[in-house]
Structure 1
Amino acid sequence: MCGICGIYAYGGVTDAESDRRDVQAMMDTLRHRGPDGEGLTQHGTATLGHRRLSIVDVAGGAQPLANEDDTVWVTYNGEIYNFSDLRSELERSGHRFRTRTDTEVLVHGYEVWGDDVVSRLNGIFAFGLWDDRNRRLLLGRDPFGVKPLYYHDDGSELVFASELKALFLRRGIVPEVDEVGLTQCLEYGFVPSPLTLFKGVRKLGPGERLLIDREGVVAEDYTEPVRVADPGDREALESKLRRLIEDAVRRQTMSDVPFGALLSGGIDSTVVVDRLRQLDTTVRTFSIGVRDEPAINELKAAQTTAKRLGTEHREVEIGPEDYASFLERAHWYLEEPCTPSALLTFFVCRMAAESVKVVLTGQGADELFGGYARYRGEYLAHRYQYLPQTVTGSLAGLLAHLPVSLRLKRGARALTERDPVRRYQKMYEVLDSDAIDAINPAADVGISDPIERIAGKMRDPDSLNRLLFLDMRCG
């Protein structure tokens, strides 16, 4: 994890000394993301900053990093897993590399492929790339939105950073509540991109790039969802999936620092650890449990799996007092509303950081393989929709008055919707429109619904595929 930030006064007017001072302050705020080093570069009206966590080429990978003639610069956070293949291709075309880092393929790749360099990357990333010849800035974020990237555009200056708090150090950017972002948060429990809870602040969506030059700012999708008409033979698919997982684990362990894995004992993390075991004789695993909460305490399953796979295992168990003591820091680190499981991730990663610098997880598998209950609900909806509306409406009304879970009530409401997009909206819904109006009377501000916008990008008649895609792109 690294921290990136920058300022580009594309309108042409700025105070260079003030820009340098503000970017330095932003870097200082992002120090927890990159404790191993910092760097700053300035090119007229553009200033880039970086805080580094060293993973590959610990000694030689300082950022911001430039191409051979210092005309292209990048500040970057993430891991490019296919960088070796890209590097070989670029070297064959005549480019000379000065480091062993994955970062350097960005500057040379931009020289060859231009803005499309981002579509060549296999990895998790967020970056800001400065083209000094053409006076333009390119921002990019990975297709799953694993790495964060926020920005503020006032019509003549764009400021970007890995975290919201860094943006507020720039003069003129104040943390005022955005009514639309707040309404979406109340409705869905999170704020889908491109909005945030703060007025004028946007987050670059998963699979998007932002192009900034003297003409203005343009956001684009650089990935297209692929629809497979005929998936083919099941046995062949299983063999291909196994090969892809093995290849992904192998690529993600190309590191110059110690690594391990988070282990819950579930299918996703167990598969990752098992593949790791094939690559390394010693695998470090880390697990977390919650005291007096047997429904969510996964320590026993993790212990059984670790013993069976022969890992070097560590675990931590927390209670309510740990949550309470961390709440204030949680606000500082997380910045936007998120699931409580994020706090569990913090505690287990804090323990893991005592012995490793990188961990692999099963994160993202539920969205790929349909692990959430709402996917089963969408599968059932195909059959449910053939029932008379009176029957489906009666069931939802009955559950609303019974002491059943919010999830079940939400699912029943969703099943009453015939239109797939409306059904998705109901699945995500935390509060209905009446409750939102009661809490926030200013909510009716002409919202363009993000669920409808994102779902519309997936032109697949299979509604379950569209829901899977939606979950991947809502971050």
Structure 2
Amino acid sequence: MCGIFGTVNNRANNFNSAMEKLEHRGPDGRGEWSSDDNRVYLGHRRLSIIDPEGGKQPLSNEDETIWITFNGCIYNYVELAQSLKERGHRFKTNSDIEVIIHAYEEYGEQCVNYFIGMFAFAIWDSKKQKLFCARDRLGIKPFYYSIVEDNFIFASEIKAILATGIVERKEDAESIHQYLVFQTIANDKTLFKNVKKLLPGHYMVLDKEANILEHKKYWDVEFNIDYSRSEEDFLEELNDLLHDAVKIRLRSDVPLGAHLSGGLDSSTVVSLASQYNRTGQPLKTFTGAFSEGEQFDETKYARIVAEKCQTNYMEVYPNEMDFIESLSKIAYFMDEPSAGPGVFPQYMVSKLAADNVKVALGGQGGDEIFGGYTRYLVGYLEECLKGAIYEKNSDLASIIPNLPALKQYVPMLKYFWAEGLFESEDKRYFRLMDRSGGIQNLYSTDVFKNNQTIFSEFQKVFNGSNSDSFLNKMLYFDLKVHLPALLHVEDRTSMAVGLESRVPLLDHRIVDLVAKIPPSIKFKNGEPKYLFKQTIKNIIPEEVLNRKDKMGFPVPLQKWYRNNVGDYVKEILLDKKAKERGIFNIKELEMKINNENDFGRAIWGALSLELWFKTHIDQ
């Protein structure tokens, strides 16, 4: 795991400030390369994981006509290296980085289709005088870029691009609107004007004048449903893929551990990792919780898994002073506002992990792949009701046993069905995903003036798959928009402390398989994660498999808000700069802050946005 930076068509010689901004991503080393005419610069900050001695970057091929700066890990590098050697390629290292170079020599831009892993890289091909940039299929690793006055600048983090002084520090009004609606951005924009992100599953090719010659989507989730296979067939293949996905992600030349929340996903990863652990030492696992009550503490389940797997189990219990002391740091590392306060405990658990290992496996992605969120059941229920009323195909009777899962989501149901019942699928899911309800009065009227534009961006993604299934459309949107926001948090909270995070459930082979499975099997009778649970029922403890109190790492901000956190929030949101900004309706915001007993989503969104302004724009 590393930090990458580079430019094309920029003749400046000093990119020291940009490289310094990425030091936390790669504390083990720094490398730089420039073309003879100084028109191309590649920089690299290294966190040494595989072949610590040989994998220094930027790295070249034998005749130094191809150079790469790379962030991530290619897990099938052993097999690819052997295949490429059989085709005549000669290797000078044992690193996964060199595999990318030779795969590019052999397959050109199509090399990305051979990689199992997470990656963001740029390759300069001096013979073709072209820069090839690519990002992994699910967007696990970040790639940002800017084109200003014929300069192409790219980096792992936006702060490095801004540090060049070439790109203006200016907010993008439409993106701020999107953030407040979705708590992320659904297209290739960022909150910074003139800074974009290369979308997951895409690559770009540029010439030496920084002209984009090709911008292509090389991978997508394809819902080509296979009705010829049985549930048992799918279970067998999924089981094999889960085992292999975890097994190859244990390849490391440095100490490795795993996050363990006590949920289905992380428990599965830990159980399989313990099974394939060949180090001779117990797998180290890391868990976080809060001491403010059982509703903030899942350690009971995490300990059950740790005991069964005989891991070296470690816990951290952050408190409100940790929150106050960490939030500005987190805002700096994140570059953009985070979707929710879960970024704080995730950062604290990453710190614990980084004190003990350099690589940590996690369970990210299970909900988006296998249908784990309650909102899928809410949307599915409405479709079943609609089908029953209009005498179309309906699974209403079959989902009744799973409806008790909605008990604690009655407020969501009231809101969801308050208007628009039985409208089009895109309008209904937009209503479920719209986070701006109840907060618009806290902002100036200009902020929410482009609602139709936001919905249009939503529609492009939601209706962008090849599926006519409502469930698959929901899953597709979340894989394309919601999941990258979570992976943004995953990347930044781990990289902030020099930790490599690996997410086995997001192996693209698993995503491809699950996309083929009929919704009636993977979401059978409206049961969230049905197929996944059937696959792992002999892998994880029964107490974890059958638990009904899924938490999602809640933070006790409601309680803390009445103490020091409340004063901290007022200090951030009601200072002179915030009042002059023109974003907030200060009168309504002040009333909300002073009268809200519970720290809600409205205050969190405003706090995150104002911290972003203070950290990244005001300076």
Taking structure 1 as the reference length, the TM-score comes to 0.90
> Structure 1 residues 323, 438: CA separation in 2 closer, same or farther (over 3 Å shift)?
closer
Residue from 260, 265, 269 that aligns with 2:266? 269
> Structure 1 residues 141, 326: CA separation in 2 closer, same or farther (over 3 Å shift)?
same
Q: Per-residue deviation at 1:457? A: 2.9
Please state whether the residue corresponding to 1:41 is helix, strand or coil: strand
- d(CA) in 1 for partners of 2:139, 2:182: 18
Q: Which has the higher contact order (CA 8 A, sep 6+)?
A: 2
State the one-letter code of the partner of 1:321.
Answer: M
Task: Confirm whether residue 75 of structure 1 aligns to residue 88 of structure 2.
Answer: no
> Structure 1 residues 56, 436: CA separation in 2 closer, same or farther (over 3 Å shift)?
farther
1:60-80: per-residue Cα shift (whole Å, max 9, x none)? Answer: 100011111111111111111
- d(CA) in 1 for partners of 2:221, 2:307: 39
Q: Per-residue deviation at 1:49? A: 0.4
Residue from 49, 52, 60 that aligns with 2:43? 49
Please state whether the residue corresponding to 1:242 is helix, strand or coil: helix
> Structure 1 residues 86, 227: CA separation in 2 closer, same or farther (over 3 Å shift)?
same
Residue from 452, 470, 474 that aligns with 1:467? 474
Structure 1 contact 413–426 (Cα < 8 Å) conserved: no
Please state whether the residue corresponding to 1:447 is helix, strand or coil: helix
> Structure 1 residues 429, 27: CA separation in 2 closer, same or farther (over 3 Å shift)?
same
- d(CA) in 1 for partners of 2:57, 2:418: 50
Q: Per-residue deviation at 1:458? A: 0.9
> Structure 1 residues 436, 21: CA separation in 2 closer, same or farther (over 3 Å shift)?
farther
* Bigger mean CA offset, 301-310 vs 259-268: 301-310
State the one-letter code of the partner of 2:310.
Answer: G
Equivalent residue number for residue 320 of structure 2: 320
- d(CA) in 2 for partners of 1:408, 1:135: 57
Residue from 243, 251, 261 that aligns with 1:246? 243
- d(CA) in 2 for partners of 1:342, 1:303: 23
State the one-letter code of the partner of 1:452.
Answer: Q
- d(CA) in 1 for partners of 2:135, 2:414: 35
> Structure 1 residues 411, 207: CA separation in 2 closer, same or farther (over 3 Å shift)?
farther
Equivalent residue number for residue 135 of structure 1: 129
Equivalent residue number for residue 397 of structure 1: none
Equivalent residue number for residue 346 of structure 2: 345
State the one-letter code of the partner of 2:134.
Answer: G
* Bigger mean CA offset, 378-387 vs 80-89: 378-387
> Structure 1 residues 456, 90: CA separation in 2 closer, same or farther (over 3 Å shift)?
farther
Structure 2 contact 151–210 (Cα < 8 Å) conserved: no
Count of aligned pairs:
454
Q: Which runs of 5+ in 1 are unaligned?
A: 390-402
Equivalent residue number for residue 416 of structure 1: 421
- d(CA) in 1 for partners of 2:150, 2:310: 57
Equivalent residue number for residue 30 of structure 1: 22
Q: Which runs of 5+ in 2 are unaligned?
A: 391-407, 485-619
State the one-letter code of the partner of 1:346.
Answer: Y
Structure 2 contact 285–311 (Cα < 8 Å) conserved: yes
- d(CA) in 2 for partners of 1:453, 1:113: 32
Equivalent residue number for residue 329 of structure 1: 329
Equivalent residue number for residue 260 of structure 1: 257
Structure 1 contact 385–418 (Cα < 8 Å) conserved: no
State the one-letter code of the partner of 1:472.
Answer: L
> Structure 1 residues 456, 210: CA separation in 2 closer, same or farther (over 3 Å shift)?
farther
- d(CA) in 2 for partners of 1:295, 1:434: 26
Equivalent residue number for residue 447 of structure 1: 453
Task: Confirm whether residue 366 of structure 1 aligns to residue 372 of structure 2.
Answer: no
- d(CA) in 1 for partners of 2:439, 2:276: 55
* Bigger mean CA offset, 459-468 vs 377-386: 377-386
Structure 2 contact 148–166 (Cα < 8 Å) conserved: no
> Structure 1 residues 226, 436: CA separation in 2 closer, same or farther (over 3 Å shift)?
farther
Equivalent residue number for residue 21 of structure 1: 14
State the one-letter code of the partner of 1:368.
Answer: I
More strand by share: 1
CA RMSD of superposed structures (Å): 2.3
Identity %: 33
1:264-292: per-residue Cα shift (whole Å, max 9, x none)? Answer: 11111111111112112521111000120
- d(CA) in 2 for partners of 1:80, 1:323: 35
Residue from 121, 126, 149 that aligns with 2:120? 126
> Structure 1 residues 324, 235: CA separation in 2 closer, same or farther (over 3 Å shift)?
same
Alignment of structure 1 residues 33-432 onto 2, 5 Å: 33-43=25-35, 44=37, 45-154=39-148, 156-213=150-207, 214=209, 216-217=211-212, 218-231=214-227, 232-280=229-277, 282-338=282-338, 339-386=340-387, 407-408=412-413, 411-412=416-417, 416=421, 418-432=423-437
> Structure 1 residues 323, 407: CA separation in 2 closer, same or farther (over 3 Å shift)?
farther
Structure 1 contact 261–361 (Cα < 8 Å) conserved: yes
1:76-109: per-residue Cα shift (whole Å, max 9, x none)? Answer: 1111111122212211111111111111111111
1:329-380: per-residue Cα shift (whole Å, max 9, x none)? Answer: 0111112122221221111111111111101111111111111112212321
Equivalent residue number for residue 400 of structure 1: none
- d(CA) in 1 for partners of 2:320, 2:76: 42
> Structure 1 residues 29, 215: CA separation in 2 closer, same or farther (over 3 Å shift)?
closer
Structure 2 contact 178–186 (Cα < 8 Å) conserved: yes
Q: Per-residue deviation at 1:258? A: 0.8
- d(CA) in 2 for partners of 1:226, 1:387: 29
- d(CA) in 2 for partners of 1:411, 1:73: 52
Q: Per-residue deviation at 1:224? A: 2.8
> Structure 1 residues 216, 410: CA separation in 2 closer, same or farther (over 3 Å shift)?
farther
Structure 1 contact 8–157 (Cα < 8 Å) conserved: yes
